Amino acid sequence: DSGVTQTPKHLITATGQRVTLRCSPRSGDLSVYWYQQSLDQGLQFLIQYYNGEERAKGNILERFSAQQFPDLHSELNLSSLELGDSALYFCASSVDPQEGYTFGSGTRLTVV
Amino acid sequence: GESVGLHLPTLSVQEGDNSIINCAYSNSASDYFIWYKQESGKGPQFIIDIRSNMDKRQGQRVTVLLNKTVKHLSLQIAATQPGDSAVYFCAEKGGSYIPTFGRGTSLIVHP
């Protein structure tokens, strides 16, 4: 157990739908990062939050959004889902943005 | 288990051999490098890191070598075990503090 908790582990939904993925960072970690991992794209950075505020944005689609709450957990919202959004979505956390971070075990999203 | 990549470079070794996984990075301004291991169905797991002011760092059974001249990073695993079978990613960090991950190398250890 890495200390980073992601729920749900698996999610199957239809095209056009909206889903929310949840992440609880390791105790004491203020930064949360979201990554998408697909078979042909590898690990792609989506967005980072630090202590409730957006800190950096990567290749995140406009259909996707995220937030970090006062208790530091984070949610990634994916809307108007397309088949190509099927992927593993990882959350990671760190106490210091200059160090490496700890990943959760991911949410496997399948859009049918 | 889940596959994280169908077209990854693959390294096959026999149990007990030493493994060397290579990574070329792109940003000459990167000053922090990390190796991650990802087993099937799990998230990437931190193995070892190195800063740009070093050219070698050793951990337990693992050594990372950094050659800044040619922007090359390698991970050496001594006495490779079946439990080392996984996809290995290198990541580089520059001023943005957001690591950029390589595509990964699949290590297969044969008993």
The predicted-structure confidence for A4-17, as pLDDT tens digits, reads as follows: 999 999 999 999 99
pLDDT of residue A112: 97
The predicted-structure confidence for B40-67, as pLDDT tens digits, reads as follows: 888 999 999 999 999 999 999 999 999 9
Q: Above pLDDT 90, what percent of chain B?
A: 69
**What sign for the dihedral angle of Cα A37, A42, A43, A45?**
negative
User: Which chain B residue has its CA at the smallest distance from A58's CA?
Assistant: B98
Q: Is the pLDDT of residue A96 over 90?
A: no
Q: What's the rounded Cα separation, in Å, for the pair A71 and A67?
A: 11
Closest Cβ opposite residue A2 in set B34, B41, B43:
B43
Q: Does B27 touch chain A (CB under 8 A)?
A: no
- Residues of chain A contacting B104 with CB distance shorter than 8 Å: 42
CB A68 within 8 A of CB A32: yes
* Bridge pairing between strands A102-103 and A42-50: unpaired
Mutate which: A43, A57, A103, vs B, most B CBs within 10 A: A43
* Bridge pairing between strands A87-94 and A107-111: antiparallel
- Residues of chain B contacting A98 with CB distance shorter than 8 Å: 32, 93, 97
- Residues of chain B contacting A104 with CB distance shorter than 8 Å: 43
Indicate the length of chain B as a whole number: 111
